């Protein structure tokens, strides 16, 4: 199989990030955050960019993944793989149940219902102080070293090891996404995105495919949430708020929501700008908003689409 140059280039950039980040005044935790939020943006884009359905409540599953991971580490067992699995299960099960209720809605109705359910989870986490810690967040847990039998990966104290662990998780998730999108199931999602009425006339079970796309997107989103909890050793209600969902939408649109790698680029730009601008001004969100408006008006295919067009010119 011939390797695509874009995949090789992205892989080299990510693998070598701990070595070149200090040269541009970056740091490993920032690179890890880009991977985690990039995975979250790509998970949303699986539903938005490749199925054509917009969810403004996807942060709920990101937050549930974080809380599920924290609960597992705090109350079940000090096992990082088990914690990630528990976070994914919690977010995926919630997504499967709620997706079955809203799958027949379309457009703004679908988006508004997802916001409503997301805010329900937010207020539960905000008010249930005895379990979630309320506004102070869930504390008292920390990521644990990973015992492979023949060696131990110390992600608890070694940020480089944590970065590469998150990179492996990211690669597995992105690889599965790519396989799904290249399968007949993925082609069906594209058909639904392009013309739902024609796809329905062809006899395709539209609601079933949209539900499956929603559940898969929630599974990867909750995985990102679990990794985010491990990165911070902390989970709080803000991770479930609709404003966090808005950030994921901004990342996807900035990079290019109809391209596979676009949301990763959008997440990188968003995180780097947030990190640099927030140290200079409290109004950093205004500058990101201005950039978002410029991209929407002048670069409809996102930053990645603009860069590809430039390289072909």
Chain segment 41-99, per-residue pLDDT in tens: 999 999 999 998 989 899 999 999 999 999 999 999 999 999 999 999 999 999 999 99
105 in helix, strand or coil?
coil
Q: How does 46-77 read in b/e, with b if 16+ C-beta sit within 10 Å?
A: bbbbbbbbbbbbbbbbbbbbbbbbbbbbbeee
- Report residue 4's pLDDT band, with 50, 70 and 90 as the boundaries: confident
Q: Looking at residue 1, what is its pLDDT?
A: 40
User: For residue range 112-139, what is the model confidence (pLDDT) as tens digits?
Assistant: 999 999 999 999 999 998 899 888 889 9
Residues 1, 191: Cα–Cα separation, whole Å: 27
Q: Looking at residue 3, what is its pLDDT?
A: 56
Q: What is the mean pLDDT of the chain?
A: 90
Q: Looking at residue 174, what is its pLDDT?
A: 95
Of 207, 203, 212, which Cα lies nearest the Cα of 185? 212
Residues 148-168: what's their mean pLDDT?
90
Is the Cβ–Cβ distance between 218 and 58 less than 8 Å? yes
Calculate the alpha carbon distances from 240 to 65, 114, 124, 180, 237 in Å.
10, 12, 10, 27, 5
Residues 151, 112: Cα–Cα separation, whole Å: 48
Q: Looking at residue 25, what is its pLDDT?
A: 80
Judged by average pLDDT, the poorest of 181-185, 240-244, 300-304 is 300-304
- Only one residue has tokens 């060696």, namely 151
User: For residue range 263-310, what is the model confidence (pLDDT) as tens digits?
Assistant: 999 999 999 999 888 888 788 888 888 888 998 888 888 888 888 887
Residue 20: pLDDT over 70: yes
Domain range summary for the chain, segments of one domain joined by +: 5-312
Q: Which CATH architecture has domain 5-312?
A: Orthogonal Bundle (1.10)
Residues 248, 224: Cα–Cα separation, whole Å: 12
Confidence (pTM):
0.93
């Amino acid at each position: 199989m011939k390797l695509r140059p874009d995949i090789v280039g992205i892989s080299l950039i990510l693998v070598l990030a701990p070595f070149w980040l200090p040269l541009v005044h970056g740091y490993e935790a920032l690179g890890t955050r880009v991977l985690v939020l990039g995975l979250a943006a790509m998970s949303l884009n699986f539903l938005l960019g490749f199925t054509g359905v917009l969810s403004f409540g996807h942060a709920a599953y990101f937050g549930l993944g974080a809380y599920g991971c924290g609960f597992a580490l705090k109350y079940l067992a000090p096992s990082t793989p088990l914690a990630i699995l528990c976070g994914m299960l919690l977010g995926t099960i919630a997504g499967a149940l709620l997706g079955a209720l809203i799958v027949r809605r379309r457009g703004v109705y679908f988006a508004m219902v997802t916001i409503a359910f997301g805010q329900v989870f937010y207020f539960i986490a905000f008010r249930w102080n005895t379990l979630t810690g309320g506004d102070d967040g869930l504390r008292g847990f920390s990521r644990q070293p990973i015992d492979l039998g023949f060696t131990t990966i110390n992600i608890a104290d070694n940020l480089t090891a944590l970065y590469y662990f998150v990179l492996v998780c990211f690669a597995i998730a992105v690889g599965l996404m790519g396989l799904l999108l290249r399968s007949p199931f993925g082609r069906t999602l594209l058909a639904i995105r392009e013309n739902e009425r024609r796809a329905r006339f062809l006899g395709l079970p539209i609601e079933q495919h949209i539900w499956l796309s929603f559940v898969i997107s929630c599974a990867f989103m909750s995985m990102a949430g679990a990794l985010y909890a491990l990165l911070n050793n902390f989970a709080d209600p803000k991770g479930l708020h609709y404003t966090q969902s808005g950030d994921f939408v901004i990342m996807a649109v900035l990079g290019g929501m109809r391209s596979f790698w676009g949301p990763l680029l959008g997440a990188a730009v968003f995180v780097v700008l947030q990190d640099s601008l927030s140290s200079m001004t409290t109004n950093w969100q205004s500058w990101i908003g201005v950039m978002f408006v410029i991209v929407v008006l002048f670069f409809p295919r996102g930053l990645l689409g603009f860069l590809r067009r430039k390289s072909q010119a």
